[in-house]
A = this chain, B = another copy of it.
Amino acid sequence: MSNGVAQPSRRPTRARSIIRATLDSTDRFMSAQRLHEMITEQGEDVGLATVYRTLQLFADDGEVDCLRDSDGEMLYRKCVREAHHHHLICRRCGVTKELEDLTIEQWADAVAAKHGFSSVSHTFEVYGVCADCQAAG
């Protein structure tokens, strides 16, 4: 089924370059709507549907990381690393740190296997208030 090899053709277009540039302009996770808002504020014009579609493509290609916030809204951010990893996210300002730790992955797989589960995946995110936001009150 999916061998992860073939990749559909991706044409370089105006919309994609704008979206990519906007993603690059910050290191925070943003919703599709917020990203679209930023693009509009820059005086550019890209359809909201295109933003959604493009973010999904980028996510499929591993070009952006995505996660859901506590409201269930999907958030996207340019991907910094290739490997699977998790995030430490500031609730206040949205700044994120990438966490690396194989223990979590291994533990998740192991505990799932122990219970006879297969096709295992997991979600793991850590939220808090970063040092800067604490200092800022």
Contact = CB atoms under 8 A, between A and B. Distances in A.
Given A123-B124, A123-B125, A125-B122, A97 B115 contact: yes
A130 interface: yes
Contacts of A130: 115-117
A97 B34 CA distance: 37
A130 B117 CA distance: 4
Given A88-B111, A112-B128, A123 B123 contact: yes
Most chain B beta carbons < 10 A, residue from A101, A116, A130: A116
B88 A112 contact: yes
Interface residues of A, number: 35
A74 interface: yes
A101 B91 contact: no
Contacts of A6: none
B70 A123 contact: yes
Interface in A39-68: 68
A68 B73 CA distance: 11
A128 B111 CA distance: 11
9 contacts: A72-B73, A88-B117, A101-B107, A112-B128, A120-B126, A120-B128, A122-B124, A122-B126, A124-B124
